[in-house]
Structure formats: structure tokens, C-alpha cells
Amino acid sequence: MKYNLSEITEVIRNRRSITPEKFSPRRVHREQLELMLTNATWAPTHGMTQPWRFRVFLGDGMDSIRRFIPDLYRTSTASEKFNQAKFDRMALRLQRASAVIAVCMQRDPSGKIDEVEEIEAVACAVQNLMLTATAYGLGTFWSTPKLLNHADCHQFLELKDGDRCLGLVYVGYPEGEWPEQHRKPLEYITTWIEKNT
Ligand SMILES: Cc1cc2nc3c(=O)[nH]c(=O)nc-3n(C[C@H](O)[C@H](O)[C@H](O)COP(=O)(O)O)c2cc1C
């Protein structure tokens, strides 16, 4: 065996989405985020386009996103659709997160790789990032509000034409119990083809 399989299996199965409401005030350090992001970049990438781009909000830098996202929700939502509870939750999550990573996909101008493959590569990068966070005992929460597609948000994140923001990953130390999850057993999701038919 080349690596410790039980440890890597444990990290993979222990990775949990933890809502920022459950984060403690304990700060996340830039060095931790750097390792998470560097490991993210070791994801597979078709054509080596390396389409992932990250904007990391940390420390005082959190102020801008704490203002921007709730403001955008307020200004872009028709008054009859405005949901105060949703607004409050959004603001609270941003308040509780120690760091927020806007995960973006930069479209290769040559277009030689299909967009879906670029998105897949970024999703793989996010998994690497979250697994590294898990190894630190950090919780992550991948959030994909519709607001991320808004032109103002693209401007805020300095995205170019064709680029996309694929989510905000909230990072923080969880308070209390590490949550549990479940998955469908293999027999529900797998067909084995082992005979030459
Ligand atoms: C692409 C993607 C987008 C997601 N967006 C949201 C989201 O907007 N809100 C949310 O509550 N969870 C979101 N999640 C997290 C899922 O809810 C979570 O992965 C699922 O409940 C399984 O829990 P686990 O991650 O702890 O295994 C997203 C997950 C993925 C892969």
C-alpha cells in the first residue's frame, strides 16, 4: 500500500457541510487557506487549462462581502418576494464565517475545452479544498445562491465574459458536534460488468 488508506478514507467520509451558523468565533489562518487552495489546484484539469480562480475574503476583507451579498439581495429582489428570514440568514452566515472563498471558473478564451469540463475541474478543486479543510478540523459550506449569477456580483468578483462564480465556500471551526451524514450503499448506484456478454 502506498498511502494510509484508512486515514484518507476517514478524511473523505468525515468531510461535512457545516452551516456557518454552527461556526465558533475561532479564526482560520491564512496559511491554512493557502494549503487548501494549493491542494485545490492539484485537481485534474482537461487540457491543463487550470480554470479555477479564487477570491478569498478574510479578516477585514470580510467586510466587503458581508455588505455586498445582503445588499445585492435587497436591491435585486422585488419587494413582494423579499424574504426577511432569508436576508437575516444570509447576513448571519457571512458574519459567522471566518473566511469566504468565492470559487470561480475562468473560461479559456480558446474555448477548446467544453464549459462543463471546466466546471467539473473546478468542482474537483473544491473537493480537494474541502478535504484539506477537514484535515484541519475545519467545517466548510458550499453555497450557491442565484445571486452569484447577477451582473453586479460578476462585477464585484471581477469576472470576465464567460467566467462564472460556482459558489461561495464558507470556512470556519465548527462549534459542538461534528455532524453525521449518510450515503446510499453501493448496490443502489453501481452496475458491475464483469462478464463478456
Ligand atoms: C455544487 C454544490 C452546491 C451546493 N449548494 C448548496 C447550497 O446552496 N445550500 C446548501 O445548503 N447546501 C449546498 N450544498 C451542500 C449540500 O447541501 C451538501 O453537500 C449535502 O447536504 C450533503 O452533505 P455533506 O456535504 O455534509 O455530505 C451544495 C453542494 C454542492 C456539491
Instruction: Provide the residue range defining the domain that includes 142.
Output: 5-189
**48 in any annotated domain:** yes
User: What's the rounded Cα separation, in Å, for the pair 24 and 139?
Assistant: 10
Secondary structure element (H or E) that encloses residue 70, with its range = helix 62-76
Neighbouring C-alpha atoms within 13 Å toward the C-beta of 167: 15
The answer to whether 90 and 69 have CB atoms below 8 angstroms apart is yes
**37 in any annotated domain:** yes
Residues with CB under 6 A from ligand 1: 16-17, 142-144, 167, 181
pLDDT in the model for residue 97: 97
Residue pLDDT, tens place only, 151-180: 999 999 999 999 999 999 999 999 999 999
What distance in angstroms lies between residue 53's CA and the mean position of ligand 1's atoms?
Answer: 20
Residue burial 100-114, b: 16+ Cβ < 10 Å; e: rest: bbbbbbbbbeeeebe
Neighbouring C-alpha atoms within 13 Å toward the C-beta of 119: 9
Provide the domain count of the chain: 1
What distance in angstroms lies between residue 194's CA and the mean position of ligand 1's atoms?
Answer: 34
**94 in any annotated domain:** yes
- Cell numbers given for 57: 475574503
Return the residue whose CA atom lies nearest to atom 22 of ligand 1: 17
**60 in any annotated domain:** yes
Q: Mean pLDDT of residues grouped by 10 in the chain (197 residues)?
A: 96 98 97 98 98 98 98 97 97 97 95 96 98 98 97 98 98 95 98 95
**176 in any annotated domain:** yes
What distance in angstroms lies between residue 141's CA and the mean position of ligand 1's atoms?
Answer: 7
Encoded amino acid at 81, one letter: K
What distance in angstroms lies between residue 16's CA and the mean position of ligand 1's atoms?
Answer: 9
**93 in any annotated domain:** yes
**195 in any annotated domain:** no
The answer to whether 25 and 99 have CB atoms below 8 angstroms apart is no
The answer to whether 80 and 126 have CB atoms below 8 angstroms apart is no
pLDDT in the model for residue 197: 84
Question: Strand, coil or helix: what is 38?
Answer: helix
pLDDT in the model for residue 137: 97
Mutate to test the pocket of ligand 1, among 142, 165, 177 (most ligand atoms within 8 A of CB): 142
Return the residue whose CA atom lies nearest to atom 2 of ligand 1: 142
- Among 152, 129, 141, 159, smallest CA distance to 11 is for 129
CB atoms within 10 A of CB 176: 8
**65 in any annotated domain:** yes
- Cell numbers given for 91: 447576513
pTM (predicted TM-score): 0.97
Q: Find the CATH number of the domain harbouring 180.
A: 3.40.109.10
